[in-house]
A and B are shown apart, each in its own frame.
Chain A
Amino acid sequence: MSTVSETRKVGRATTAGNKITVSKVLIFTVLIIWLLICIFPVYWMITFSLKDNTEIFGENVVGLPHKMLWSNYTEAMNTGHMDVYFLNSFIIAVSTILITLVASAMATYAMTRLVWKGRETMNKFFMLGLTIPIHAAIVPLYVVLGRAGLLNSYVALIIPYSAFSLAMGILICTGFMGDIPYDLDEAAFLDGCGVWGIFGRVIAPLMVPAISTVGIYTFLQCWNELMFATIFNSREAYRTLPVGVQELFGQYQTKWGPVGAALTIATLPTLLVYVFLSKRIQDSFIAGAVKG
């Protein structure tokens, strides 16, 4: 950590000390332009979610709305059923996070704190999950879920999402569990704890930071997932936000306001989480890529 702040200081000092050159101005301009390109779609989405067609289609294409049209949001909720899709996405995301957390924490405990032959091979086996594309599972899952009558249900997405989040969960947990001193296990063992007691009373409470990292990562994966969601849960009652937004777009070909409202509703949770936890989210993506 200290090295980062040091280099940053060095960097700052040189930027401040040097003269402003043409190339620096150019670089800064490009950075600003790219910044605007990254922000624009989101800005545009939020503004046109509050406009009516006359503004969107001519009068006021990119400006702030003249009159806030909140009815677009009620329309997206009432006739667009965004409230149903939101709840579905929420239920599926929370269940997936819980299952992923419990399963990966338990497996990581067995592979890092308990001594047995083959635990490293087992870890490598799980890490295969980082490279297996979800395409591999689509046809078989569709067939099996269909036979079991589970298509169009929460389970149809919760189970596949959990399974595909598992490898990343184990990877992140392994990093965190390695930082917990082994003395604690021994002390607890001497106090008469079994493996379950050590896991439940000593390790699990110390895993809280990992919980948020795994949770955030898993949340983003299943909140935005489209392929499984399109194929397994196409009926309205169990649609998640990505599929729901797609359907809404078909309904409102000529009326953009409610679509903008729906898109904003689908995006807001992610953006809010990002505003408050940007560093942690970035770190979880880095951790996932660098070790994977």
Chain B
Amino acid sequence: MKKTLGYRFNIFLFLLPALFLFIAVLIAPIGMSLFYSLHNWNGLKTPEFIAFKNYVELFTSGSINFTRALKNALLLAFFSTFIQLPFALWLALKLAKGIRGERVFLSVYFMPVLISTVVIGQLWLKIYNPDYGVLNVALRALGLESWCQIWLGDRNLALGAAFVPILWQYVGYHMLLMYAGIKGVPPELREAGMLDGCTDGQLNRYIVIPYIKPILRVSVIFAVTGSLKSFDLIWVLTKGGPVHATEVPSTLMINLLFLRNRYGMGSTIAVMLIILCFFFALLINMVFRKEKVV
């Protein structure tokens, strides 16, 4: 094919729809968010340039309390990495070994991932309902009346109660990725291990897990960045309350934007989230690369 001007123009035409969408909706807004984040702006008046004052206020203001929101998100990331992922890995290892009803288990475990988070949230709201919710009803039936709680209304319990459905919903997702990885381990490797007299545990520890490290890396990145960005379930369950106990960066951002009309500050949180997501992705990549050498 000749590389004429027409050919080049055709290439451009083929790329045009995707490029237009991508630049208009993803790239340009990042620039705009950065711009807004350096301004004091309520959405109506002309933005007033204040350099990095928003960023300073974000970390020092007690009424915004971004550090608490960030701490909550990081706590979720911690639970996600050290409880949800190991459990998902355990499930994947057991299923991939070829258990009876493997496909059924796999498909059911993955199902919560596909259900709308609003639906999941509404259902858990009802499970947690202090008067009629299944949880308290079950506790009463077991004679554990004193364990009954106003799960999502108690400042000390709400965060934990909100984390449970989030962690629960995505176990299946990580399990599926790991399962696919384990199924991809070459049978020769397994057989070699078995000939050397490895037990199942040793096989998993020295052959399977090192082999699926790239997938574990992806899972950890998703778990951590997903926790930083978490919004849906918290929004449905508590809207960040009670008294901001379950606030995460995303809910804080929505509150600042639509309750206080602070567009500049909302953008500052958006920019912080982008930076944090990229930072943690790089950090996790580095940790995994280092381990490879050892």
- Residue ranges of A at the interface with B (Cβ–Cβ < 8 Å): 3-4, 6-8, 10-12, 14-15, 27-28, 31, 34-35, 37-39, 41-42, 44-45, 48, 56-58, 61-62, 99, 102-104, 106-107, 109-111, 114-116, 122, 125-126, 128-129, 131-143, 159-160, 162-164, 166, 170, 189, 194-196, 199, 220, 223-224, 226-227, 230-231, 241-243, 245-246, 249, 256, 259, 263, 266-267, 270-271, 274, 278, 281-282, 285-286, 289-290, 292
Contact = CB atoms under 8 A, between A and B. Distances in A.
A266 B98 contact: no
Given A35-B108, A226-B231, A242-B116, A135 B273 contact: yes
Given A7-B187, A160-B25, A274-B111, A135 B270 contact: yes
B100 interface: yes
Interface string B212-235: 001100100010010001011001
A267 B115 contact: yes
Given A37-B168, A107-B19, 8 more contacts: A41-B123, A41-B127, A111-B15, A139-B33, A245-B119, A249-B122, A259-B122, A271-B114
B231 A227 contact: yes
Interface string B102-119: 100111111111111111
A168 to B, nearest CB: 12
Nearest to B265: A139
The 9 A-B pairs of least Cβ separation, nearest first, read A11-B98, A163-B25, A107-B18, A110-B14, A140-B29, A140-B32, A224-B116, A103-B17, A242-B118
Given A15-B98, A103-B17, A278 B118 contact: no
Contacts, number: 267
Contact of B15 (A41, A110, A256): A110
B263 A278 contact: no
B160 to A, nearest CB: 17
B163 to A, nearest CB: 15
Contacts of B172: 38
A34 B132 CA distance: 24
B134 A61 contact: yes
Nearest to A125: B22
B11 A110 contact: yes
Contacts of B210: none
A227 B232 contact: yes
Contacts of B142: none
A12 B18 CA distance: 47
Interface in B1-50: 1, 3, 7-8, 10-11, 14-15, 17-19, 21-22, 24-26, 28-30, 32-33, 36, 43
Nearest to B173: A285
Given A133-B274, A267-B115, A292 B218 contact: yes
A3 B281 CA distance: 32
